[in-house]
Amino acid sequence: QVYLVESGGGSVQPGGSLSLSCAVSGRDVSRGCMGWFRQAPGKEREWVANILNGGSPHYNNSVKGRFTISQDSAENTLHLQMNSLKPEDTAKYYCAAGWGWCPDKTDYNDWGQGTQVTVSS
């Protein structure tokens, strides 16, 4: 059984930073595709970033240059460092795991419960 548990969400002012973590059990964080998604009320769940087979990261253009996805192999944990946060980043953030390229959210087999990020003044 694969378990993904997000943490690190909270409230922050515009321009601030948050670091999200996803504790992974039941699979190797460096295998397959590991990704972050977000969903705001009334909107479709949106891809944020992913990393395939522990390789190079990929980002949605809306967060490129501000967010950094990484993995800690020793802790088997996925991270998302979020800097220069904007109000439009407000959403519930989900960690997800799948296999292959995983270009679509339907390609991810396992999901965490999500952690709320709120950016406001």
Q: Who's near 76: CB < 8 A, 6+ residues apart?
A: 23, 24, 25, 28, 29
**Calpha distance 52→32 (Å, rounded):** 6
- Environment class of 99 (CB within 10 Å of its CB; exposed 0-12, middle 13-18, buried 19+): middle
**Given this model, what pLDDT does residue 103 score?**
76
Rg of the chain, C-alpha, whole Å:
13
pLDDT, residue 42, reads 96
pLDDT tens digits, residue range 17-71? 999 999 999 999 999 999 999 999 999 999 999 999 988 999 999 999 999 999 9
> Would you say 96 and 110 are in contact if contact means Cβ atoms under 8 Å apart?
yes
Model confidence pLDDT, tens digit, residues 75-112: 999 999 999 999 999 999 999 999 887 878 899 999 99
Strand pairing class (57-59; 46-52): antiparallel
What is residue 100's predicted lDDT score, i.e. its pLDDT? 80
